[in-house]
């Protein structure tokens, strides 16, 4: 969102026929850009919202929650599909889950609760802060009903409908990379901001595809095809995070 020509990038992707254009963002700058991004061809956005409480939000992000709430409102007004993401951390925001459920339900937004991963700076505090998906669900079942929704292989989120004691319903999901890894169905590749292609977050290896992109722009797609095949071959079945890479450098 800091990139000044982001709308032009989105428009370029849309013009090439990319079928699904989504943005994951902390939402801090979304209020002023949501309309232009929607007009450029953006279809949906995932917004990180770990807590609604200003003090807790400042502790987690060092920022203000109000611009994020404005960004959520602007994205909905612009016609973007919105999902909320919250990483649940013990002693920090694990008691805020029901506030987030109520907030999402009032706005007809799905919300997804994520387990921490022992990766990057989070690895040092993982044992203290980790809350499993099973514990999250157990807490929710004590205050309502969870109805599972169909789950497709390769999807990262296990979705349910949560109905509280007052009968209010919210679609929520659980992303469980630590307790229920989804490596065997993962089809994602990541191109980092510094131009490296990663097949797996849990592996240290990457590919520099820039020469292949240059060849592709000249009409020769074979080097790029080999890069993609090599990146896909990096995917692993061990389901263990070995590379303590900062997630901020990877985009999630």
pLDDT (tens digit, 9 = 90+) per residue, 73-83? Answer: 999 999 999 99
Q: Does 238 score more than 60 pLDDT?
A: no
Domains belonging to the chain, first-starting first, are 6-183 (3.20.20.70), 187-249 (no CATH)
Q: What percent of the chain clears pLDDT 90, i.e. is strictly above it?
A: 74
| pLDDT per residue as tens digits for the range 102-151 | 999 999 999 999 999 887 777 889 999 999 999 999 999 999 999 999 98
Q: Is 252 helix (H, G, I), strand (E, B) or coil?
A: coil
Closest CA to 136 of 109, 169, 100, 105: 100
Average of pLDDT values for 93-97?
A: 96
Average of pLDDT values for 233-246?
A: 66
Residue 237: band (very low, low, confident or very high) from pLDDT cuts 50, 70, 90: low
Which CA distances in Å does 136 have to 38, 65, 115? Answer: 34, 23, 9
pLDDT at residue 249 in the model: 67
**Strand residue runs (E) in 49-121:** 81-87, 111-114
Average pLDDT of the residues of the chain: 91
Q: Does 232 score more than 80 pLDDT?
A: yes
Q: Which helix (H) or strand (E) holds 10?
A: helix 6-15
Average of pLDDT values for 228-240?
A: 78
What does the angle CA 130 – CA 137 – CA 110 come to, to the nearest 5 degrees?
95
| pLDDT per residue as tens digits for the range 155-173 | 889 999 999 999 999 999 9
pLDDT at residue 119 in the model: 78
List the single range of 1-5, 55-59, 73-77, 243-247 with lowest mean pLDDT.
Answer: 243-247
- The answer to whether the predicted template modeling score (pTM) of the entire model surpasses 0.85 is yes
**Strand residue runs (E) in 116-184:** 144-148, 157-164, 169-175
| pLDDT per residue as tens digits for the range 24-58 | 999 999 999 999 999 999 999 999 999 999 999 99
Residue 240: band (very low, low, confident or very high) from pLDDT cuts 50, 70, 90: low
Distance in angstroms (rounded) separating the CA atoms of residues 2 and 244: 25
Q: Is the alpha carbon torsion for 50, 54, 55, 60 positive or negative? A: positive
Residue 242: band (very low, low, confident or very high) from pLDDT cuts 50, 70, 90: low
């Amino acid at each position: 969102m800091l990139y000044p020509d982001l709308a032009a990038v989105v428009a370029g992707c849309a013009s090439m026929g990319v079928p699904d254009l989504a943005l994951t963002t902390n939402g801090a700058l979304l209020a002023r850009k949501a309309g232009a991004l929607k007009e450029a061809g953006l279809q949906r956005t995932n917004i990180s919202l770990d807590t609604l409480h200003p003090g807790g939000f400042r502790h987690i992000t060092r920022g203000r929650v109000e611009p994020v709430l404005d960004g959520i409102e602007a994205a909905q007004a612009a016609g973007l599909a919105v999902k909320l993401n919250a990483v649940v951390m013990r002693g920090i925001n694990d008691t805020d889950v029901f506030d987030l459920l109520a907030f999402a339900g009032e706005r007809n937004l799905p919300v997804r609760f994520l387990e921490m991963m022992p990766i990057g700076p989070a690895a040092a505090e993982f044992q203290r802060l980790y809350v499993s998906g099973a514990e999250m669900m157990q807490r929710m079942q004590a205050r309502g009903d969870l109805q599972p929704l169909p789950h497709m292989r390769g999807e990262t989120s296990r979705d349910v409908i949560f109905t509280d004691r007052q009968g209010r319903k919210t679609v929520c999901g659980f992303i469980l990379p630590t307790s229920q890894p989804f490596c065997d169905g993962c089809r994602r590749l990541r191109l980092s901001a510094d131009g490296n292609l990663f097949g797996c977050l849990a592996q240290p290896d990457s590919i520099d595809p820039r020469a292949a992109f240059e060849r592709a722009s000249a009409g020769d797609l074979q080097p790029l095809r080999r890069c993609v095949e090599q990146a896909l071959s990096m995917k692993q079945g061990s389901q263990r995070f070995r590379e303590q890479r900062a997630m901020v450098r990877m985009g999630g």
